[in-house]
């Protein structure tokens, strides 16, 4: 009996001992935590946007110094790390589709906290650049949905578009982007013709049934200055504008061919007035301070196409009626000059009639008809041979001065406008900006 009692006691003791050991060896319910990571603060960028291939410096504090321990992603695409230090990371912007990609910065043994507040919600904008090819920067909703009536490139990434919107196409405004189209801001309210000219400082002139001086930053809260206004017929329609970069010397032409000029940016004198009865001037082109062309016509009265121009800064004017086969059934709709001698002109009666391209080699005195119809009312030329136009979502190119046009690119959406500046062709399409660097 003693033996049996001892055996029972020993068995119970061994069980309790094993149970205790098992409980001590098993993990507890309390979670284990890693050591708290140090914080790396991102404070600024050397630039908020750039083209792919540009080097941007990201600055802050408590960065890791080994470049292999740093990762900078743009919409998940890794950028090339150029250099790193405790306070700086230099990266080369990658080629991405979206103009404002999501930026992600990772560092080994660091929790990265960004203190950057910019127009892109702390991201860095990337414009697409592939020399010799069309490259798309995809942008959604950056520019209001409206018809682009007029446009100007101050540079390939400083864009101005005159828009027509509203149920009756009665709202006319100019919107501009200083960052290649990543963001747009209304620059001016406008009147009938949507004519404007901007300078490199974001100032300029704009028509609003009178002549307005637009300050840098745009016309906001009526900050624009009225330069010229009158109630007579001469100001019923400002149709073409030319102004110097300092806004001191400039001219504008009314629809009835009256030319006003200023040499101080404030006071205007009439320098040409043919006392013309009809509104005829519709469009203009400024090459420089000396050379300015304006054209139009009035098909309602069967008038011939009209061209008014100066080669000496407005001292003398040439007022021509042009003779074409469609006399009285066509008008000048667009003008572009490559230099003081060589230029192109588009004429047509309405959008259902042929768009005919004309060219001059003597500054506008005589014009020849190019024997091939243009695909669209909008065109640009690089020189006397190479140019672009579009129709629908297709961009066309000519290499023989407009005689023939061949498909250059099938865009992903409708093409709305095409311009050229500094050997860069810029096409505004429905969902972004296409650029062709020559």
List the domains of the chain with CATH numbers: 38-127 (2.60.40.10), 136-437 (2.130.10.10)
CB 96 within 8 A of CB 33: no
Count of residues making up the chain = 438
Question: What pLDDT does 236 receive?
Answer: 61
Measured CA to CA, the distance from residue 203 to residue 101 in angstroms comes to 30
Measured CA to CA, the distance from residue 241 to residue 136 in angstroms comes to 32
Measured CA to CA, the distance from residue 355 to residue 139 in angstroms comes to 31
Question: How distant, in Å, are the alpha carbons of 81, 149, 328, 347 from that of 254?
Answer: 56, 18, 21, 19
Measured CA to CA, the distance from residue 428 to residue 413 in angstroms comes to 10
Q: Please, which residues have CB within 8 angstroms of residue 36's CB and are 6 or more apart in sequence?
A: none
Measured CA to CA, the distance from residue 342 to residue 360 in angstroms comes to 6
Q: In terms of C-beta distances under 8 Å and separation of at least 24 residues, what long-range contacts does 352-357 make, across chains too?
A: 353/326, 353/329, 356/324, 356/326, 356/330, 357/402
CB 418 within 8 A of CB 388: yes
Question: What pLDDT does 230 receive?
Answer: 64
CB 332 within 8 A of CB 295: yes
Measured CA to CA, the distance from residue 309 to residue 360 in angstroms comes to 13
The one-digit pLDDT tens for each residue of the chain (438 residues) are: 434 443 433 343 434 343 344 444 444 455 544 568 899 999 999 999 999 999 999 999 999 999 999 999 999 999 999 999 999 999 999 999 999 999 999 999 999 999 999 999 999 999 999 999 999 999 988 898 899 999 999 999 999 999 998 777 778 999 999 999 999 999 999 887 889 999 999 999 999 888 999 999 998 766 788 898 865 554 468 999 999 999 999 999 999 999 999 999 999 999 999 988 888 999 999 999 999 999 999 888 888 899 999 999 999 999 999 998 877 788 999 999 999 999 999 998 887 788 899 999 999 999 999 977 777 888 999 999 999 999 999 999 999 999 999 999 999 899 999 999 999 999 999 999 999 999
Interval 234-256: pLDDT, tens: 446 899 999 999 999 999 999 99
Whole-model pTM? 0.88
* 3-state helix, strand and coil shares in percent for the chain, rounded to the nearest 5: 10, 45, 45
């Amino acid at each position: 009996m003693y033996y049996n009692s001892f055996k029972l006691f020993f068995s119970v003791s061994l069980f309790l001992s094993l149970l205790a050991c098992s409980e001590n060896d098993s993990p507890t319910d309390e979670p284990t935590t890693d050591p708290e990571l140090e914080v790396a603060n991102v404070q600024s960028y050397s630039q908020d946007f750039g083209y792919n291939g540009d080097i941007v410096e990201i600055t802050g504090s408590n960065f890791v110094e080994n470049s292999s321990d740093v990762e900078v992603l743009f919409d998940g695409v890794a950028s090339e790390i150029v250099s790193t230090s405790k306070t700086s990371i230099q990266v080369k912007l990658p080629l991405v589709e979206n103009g404002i990609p999501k930026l992600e910065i990772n560092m080994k043994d660091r929790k990265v906290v960004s203190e950057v507040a910019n127009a892109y919600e702390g991201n860095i904008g990337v414009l697409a650049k592939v020399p010799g090819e069309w490259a798309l920067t995809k942008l959604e909703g950056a520019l209001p949905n409206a018809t682009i009536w007029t446009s100007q490139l101050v540079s390939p990434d400083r864009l101005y578009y005159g828009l027509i919107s509203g149920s009756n196409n009665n709202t006319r405004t100019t919107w501009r982007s200083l960052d290649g189209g990543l963001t747009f801001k209304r620059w001016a309210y406008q009147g009938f013709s949507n004519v404007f000219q901007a300078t490199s400082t974001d100032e300029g002139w704009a028509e609003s049934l009178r002549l307005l001086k637009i300050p840098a930053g745009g016309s906001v809260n009526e900050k624009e200055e009225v330069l010229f206004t009158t109630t007579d017929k001469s100001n019923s329609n400002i149709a073409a504008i030319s102004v110097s970069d300092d806004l001191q010397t400039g001219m504008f032409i009314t629809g009835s061919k009256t030319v006003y000029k200023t040499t101080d940016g404030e006071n205007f004198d009439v320098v040409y007035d043919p006392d013309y009865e009809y509104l005829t001037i519709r469009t203009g082109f400024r090459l420089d301070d000396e050379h300015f062309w304006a054209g139009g016509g009035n098909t309602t009265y069967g008038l011939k196409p009209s061209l008014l121009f100066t080669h000496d800064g407005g001292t003398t004017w040439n007022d021509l009626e042009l003779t074409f086969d469609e006399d009285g059934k066509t008008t000048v709709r667009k003008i572009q000059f490559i230099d003081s001698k060589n230029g192109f002109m588009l004429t047509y009666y309405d959008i259902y009639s042929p768009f005919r391209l004309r060219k001059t080699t003597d500054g506008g005195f005589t014009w020849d008809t190019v024997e091939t119809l243009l695909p669209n009312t909008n065109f640009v030329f690089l020189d006397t041979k190479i140019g672009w136009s579009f129709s629908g979502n297709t961009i066309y190119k000519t290499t023989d001065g407009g005689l023939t046009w061949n498909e250059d690119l099938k865009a992903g959406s409708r093409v709305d406008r095409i311009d050229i500046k500094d050997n860069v062709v810029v096409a505004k399409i429905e969902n972004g900006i296409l650029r062709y660097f020559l």
